[in-house]
């Protein structure tokens, strides 16, 4: 199985939250774990926000960043190119997605085969992926 992780599914591997167990099970079961290169910047921003909001202490942030670096090294990364961002623009418009979510959806579509699973916690992204016929592993509730 190819598991395409968006940031909302990666963060639970770094910070304990409701989607942590499910994200970990899918990560461990996958033959290939993939994402788009932008996931690193998006994940660092999410971790920094968690620290600002007091969800993560300073020492926990350091550990989470080290773990992010480790997981990032395990990902098969897709590069952001012109075709990907143009497809993401189409998907953002069609499915009313935020920009990064649309980039993740376009990237997951690019690696789609008979065993690809989109792993995400964002409800809008999951719904759009399902409408496109992608298998989805939701790591969180159904909200956006």
pLDDT value, residue 30: 97
Q: Does residue 90 lie within any of the structural domains?
A: yes
Q: How many CB atoms lie within 10 A of CB 31?
A: 8
Alpha-carbon gap, residue 99 to 82, rounded angstroms:
14
| Host domain of residue 11 | 2-138
Q: Does residue 110 lie within any of the structural domains?
A: yes
Q: Does residue 143 lie within any of the structural domains?
A: no
Q: Does residue 52 lie within any of the structural domains?
A: yes
pLDDT value, residue 143: 40
Q: Does residue 144 lie within any of the structural domains?
A: no
Helix, strand or coil for residue 113?
coil
Q: What is the CATH number of the domain that holds 17?
A: 3.40.50.1010
56 CB burial (10 A radius; 0-12, 13-18, 19+): buried
pTM of the model: 0.93
Q: Does residue 30 lie within any of the structural domains?
A: yes
The yes-or-no verdict on residue 144 having pLDDT over 60 is: no
73-86 mean pLDDT: 97
Decide if 123 contacts 139 (C-beta within 8 A): no
Q: What's the number of domains the chain is made of?
A: 1
Pair of tokens at residue 49: 């926000």
How confident is the model over 92-136, as pLDDT tens digits? 999 999 999 999 999 999 999 989 999 999 999 999 999 999 999
């Amino acid at each position: 199985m190819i598991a395409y992780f968006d940031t909302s599914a990666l963060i639970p591997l770094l910070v304990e939250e409701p989607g942590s167990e499910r994200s970990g099970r899918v990560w461990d079961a996958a033959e290939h774990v993939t994402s788009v290169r932008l996931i690193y910047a998006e994940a660092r921003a999410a971790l920094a926000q968690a620290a600002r909001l007091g969800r993560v202490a300073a020492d926990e942030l350091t550990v989470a960043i080290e773990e992010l670096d480790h997981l990032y090294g395990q990902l098969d990364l897709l590069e952001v190119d012109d075709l990907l961002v143009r497809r993401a623009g189409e998907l953002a418009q069609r499915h009313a997605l935020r920009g990064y979510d649309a980039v993740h959806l376009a990237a997951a579509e690019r690696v789609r085969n008979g065993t690809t699973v989109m792993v995400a916690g964002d409800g809008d992204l999951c719904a759009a992926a399902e409408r496109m016929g992608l298998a989805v592993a939701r790591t969180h509730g159904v909200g956006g």
